[in-house]
């Protein structure tokens, strides 16, 4: 028993239950965050118009904005319940790569890679200018993609029924 606690505290336990609880926790919080970001894009008329116009000014068509809004809202729900987890998380990875690049290049007109000596990097304090959330969501979505849905998911129930 003491060995199990030490393994858990030191991160050496590879128990499927611990991994599934961690994945569930991550899926819930990432899913909620995407839902919260997708809702105004879909359901708030004023916010939707403002965001669509902003995206249009960057050369992003309305249709792509609408797809992103649907992905964030419906994909967030899918992550919450663990449905199509690997597909949704991979789509989120791709979206977050795109939003990070958009944030850095379009919003701050800085080339990639963005060096610490560039004036725009210093002016925006680098990472702390809005795209830090995108990179955390990128890393979280990638982790969910690699780990999978875990045992507390609709995907697992489907696998058990079909498998």
The per-residue DSSP string of 91-133 comes to HHHHHHHHHHHHIIIIIT--PSS--TTSHHHHHTTTTSSS-HH
Count of H helices and E strands in the chain? 8, 0
pLDDT band at 5 (very low <50, low <70, confident <90, very high): low
| H or E element at residue 57 | helix 45-57
The pLDDT > 70 percentage for the chain reads 76
CA angle 125/129/130 to nearest 5° reads 160
- Residues 6 or more apart in contact with residue 91 via CB below 8 angstroms: 71, 75
More confident residue, 56 or 28: 28
Task: Please check whether residue 77 is in contact with residue 42, taking contact to mean a CB–CB distance below 8 angstroms.
Answer: no
pLDDT of residue 14: 64
């Amino acid at each position: 028993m003491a060995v199990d606690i030490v393994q858990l505290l030191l991160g050496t336990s590879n128990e499927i239950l611990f991994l599934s609880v961690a994945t569930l926790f991550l899926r819930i919080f990432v899913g909620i965050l995407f839902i919260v970001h997708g809702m105004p894009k879909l359901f708030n008329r004023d916010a939707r118009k403002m965001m669509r116009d902003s995206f249009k000014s960057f050369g992003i068509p309305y249709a792509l904005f609408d797809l992103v809004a649907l992905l964030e809202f419906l994909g967030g729900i899918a992550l919450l319940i663990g449905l199509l987890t690997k597909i949704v998380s991979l789509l989120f990875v791709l979206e977050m790569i795109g939003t990070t690049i958009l944030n850095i290049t379009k919003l701050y007109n800085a080339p990639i890679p963005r060096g610490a000596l560039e004036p725009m990097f210093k002016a925006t304090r680098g990472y702390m200018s809005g795209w830090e959330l995108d990179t955390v969501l990128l890393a979280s979505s990638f982790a969910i993609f690699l780990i999978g849905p875990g045992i507390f998911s609709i995907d697992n129930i489907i696998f058990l029924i079909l498998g």
